[in-house]
Each structure stands twice: as C-alpha cells, then as structure tokens.
Structure 1
C-alpha cells in the first residue's frame, strides 16, 4: 500500500467524483480520519527525531523556516496572479500554511537525501502547526474569507497534537502492542488519506467541474515551485546536496490531509478542493522528483 500510495489516491479521487453521494457521507469523519493518521505518526515518532534538532539546529532551522515561509508566500503570489473564487484562494493559502507531509520522509529516502533531517523537519513543523498555521492563515487569507484563528488553533491541537501525544505515550506504555501494530500503519495511513480525498472530491463535484482545471494548475505550480525554491534556498545557505534534496521535498510536500480537514471545518467544501488535489498530485510529483534527484551526486555539475 505504501509503495502504491499515488495509485490509491488517484483511484479514490476518481471514485469520489463518479460516486459523490456515496463518499460525501464521509465528510463529517474527515477530522476523525486525520486524527487516526496522526496517532499512527505518534506511534513511530521517537526521541531521536528531536535529538537531531539539537545536533543540527542550523539545518533544521533552515528547513522549518523554508516550510513556513516559501509555501505560504508562493500561495499568496499564485492567488494574486491567477483569478479564482475566494473560497479556492483561501484553500490554496491554507494548504500552503500547513506543516510538511509525512510522505516527504519516504520521498527523501527514495531521492537519496538526508532522511534524518527530513523527519526532524516534519516533526518540528507538525508540533509548531497549532500556532504557526492559524497565524499565517489569519494574516494571509482573511481578505478572502473570515478566519477564526483561535478555533483553528484548538482544532489543530485536538486533531494533531493530542493524537500525536497519545501515540507517543502508547509507545512507552504498550511497547509490544506498538511493535505489532507498526507493520499495519502504512495501510491505516493510506486508507485514511484516500477516504479524506474521496470525501472532499465527492462533496465538491460541482465546483470541480466548474473550476477543477484552474485549481489543478494552481496546485501543480504551487507544488513544483515549492520543490525548486526550497532546493535553491537550501543551496543559498550552503547545505550539502543530500540536505538540499531533503529540504526541497519537505517544502514541496504538504500535510494536505490537515488542510482538507481545516478547510472543511472552517471554510467550505470548495476550499478543501486544493488540499484534496494536492494530496493526489504531490504523491505523483514527489515520486518523479525523488527519482530524478536520486541520480544527482555532489560531483555532478548538473546538481
């Protein structure tokens, strides 16, 4: 399931579009599904992930700042350049303000990048998300739709931090259970993400028919520019090629499941469409980008 993640996401996006009445019923469960995914992340997170921050504060700092500066600013730029409804603009900015996605760690591994740096950046941005994401959305998206930053903060705490903490606690209290459960986590995560995507697509079929191509173009540009600007930002700070790969992928791949959950809860199903399309596209582009970057080496002039 993990290796064929992109296929399943695309399949369920299509099913959500073809059977909207079936998958629309899952919309109230989006937050619960995301909580289950974050609980699974909590089962696998370790103290070593945070020791990496202490060992390499500069590298992690570059990754975290790049994550929370590049994607939000690119989102604002795209909403200024490409005409789109206010709900879509708010959704594009929201997904840009989300922390890094956990699949970025897998793509970094496939690219022969610095996996430890990628995991540390994902962990730190996820923990910072309750504060940083609502603040950025309030600053950047409030001109399009009303933003309740306080309620968004509480929602992220409940759907991200609390499940993470429970998963981490389960590691300590039930180690044998966790060891037995870990092999099934890819299946749980893939199932949760594809059901979120199908629910959002099913709930927004009409809007996708009207403006789906525009949203897809914006998502492709946002994601691709994230990889590129993240890579060159890391290079500007003098980081090695392996670190540049990690930060480029970390910046370009968002926790779009969180974006879909927040957009559905605080804006509208239409605002969740950019996150749903991002979930589909970044797993395809991430695999392609990782495959290309795996062939680049430090002594290759093209790198």
Structure 2
C-alpha cells in the first residue's frame, strides 16, 4: 500500500503542477484507526496528505457532480462504475475529469471490528501480510483480513477500475460469476416471511436519510420524501409502513443504476441491512435486461432504452 500511496502523491503533484486539474479528490488519514477520510487537495505541497489503504471505503463519485473546476479523483472499481452512470446521466463532464484508477483489494468493515472487540477500545490498527493487527489497552488481536472486509467487497465482481486515465497498481483477480446467495435466500422466503423481515428490519429506521445522502446516485434536487404537495411520507412521526415505502421507492429509483458499492449500508447509523433490497434489484435487472450498472459508457441503462437494444 505504501507504493500505491507514493504513486498517488506523485501523480497528483504532477497534475497540479502542470495545471491539468484544479483539485485532486482522494483520501487522507482519518482520526480513528483503520479509517480514512475524503480529502480535497488544491496545492502541490499538500499532496502528502493523500494516502491509500484498507480504510478508503467512501465512494468518491459522490463529490464529482456538477463541479465547475477540472478534477482528478482517486477511484476504485465501484467508484468508477458510479462515475460511468453519472456521466451517462450528464451529471459529470468527462472532459473535466481525470480518473486515477486504483485496483481494490477490499475495504475493512469497522462494524465487524466493533462487534469483535465487544466494547474494547481500538487504539491502533495495522494490516500486514494478509492479517489485521488490532491493539488497545491490554489486548492485541490478530485477525485474517478476509474476515474483516465488507460483505460488499467479498461479493465484488469489479474490483478493478472500469474507466481510468491513469492506472496505479496491478489489477487484482476478478470473480468469474456473480454471487447472489444472500438474495436467493431472501427469494426463497414466503411473502409473509418477507413482509415480517422488512417489518422487523425497517422498524429501526429513524429516517435520517443518511443512506440517501451517501449514495452517489441519489442527487434529485427535491426527493419525493421531502415533498409536501403531495406528501408521500409522514413528517410528524415515524412508522414502519412509511419506512418500508421510502426504502422501496428509493431502491426502485436505483434500478439499473446501483453499483452495489455499499455506501448506503455503511452510512446507516441503525445497522439496517439495506443491501437486501438493493442487491435484489441488481439481480433482477441483470436477469431481466442483461444489464450491469456502470460497466460501459456506450450502453444505455434499461429504464432509458428500448428493451430490444439493451442486451
């Protein structure tokens, strides 16, 4: 990872020095162990802030829409797929974007670490030789890396950038077949069991809309959830029926657009498994239309093209 970090810094510095871009969007070290934060670098002297590691989980496509300046972005596979869809939807000007692609080996799920430590405070974290070393007061745990990666990353079929101007690092192995075991288990439930599942899961929703804000594809200037004429959702109280309705409509709006980056899941403060719905939609779109979001710039999404032209 240190080699990739140095290459990112050098690339960013050259782009800024040569006035090829006005800002580089990447990651800087976060305030917590094993967590990095989005970073905007505008001066060549500041490129040392940029890093790369297993804590760069944010989808940086969320910061690229309708920006007037020329931007460079550090992008992994899921970021580039979102970028592809946003270019198709005229939200990103391709001529003003330099994509610095980085193959992704997966990102660490801090929630898995929190559950593992069971209340113990993590003070230091390090990834070395395929293992994660966790340190705190009076404890030191060594866990295999693959046990702590996001489920999104474990199922990812497109870890390498699908679109880039500059590629840093070697491509990583790609899974040949999509794995939808979790969706198939959900599909096997009876209608009553599915309804009971959503009743229980979404009863915890506080409708903070963090999932909407984290998703790079949720960019409507006015969301249906905020409308008052007509009013789709209650604004004075929370109830499970409205929560289910909000999530169902949100996922419907993502049909053929969701790249399964997991941003919504990560953002949820209540730990709701939002990917049950989104991955079901991803699977249905693949089976019905032969379409996978964010793979090709020249392929129209299913809701914007005649069915005969999709496959």
TM-score higher than 0.5: no
TM-score scaled by length of structure 2: 0.30
| Bigger proportion of residues as helix | 1
TM-score scaled by length of structure 1: 0.31
* Structure with larger RCO (C-alpha < 8 A, sep 6+): 1
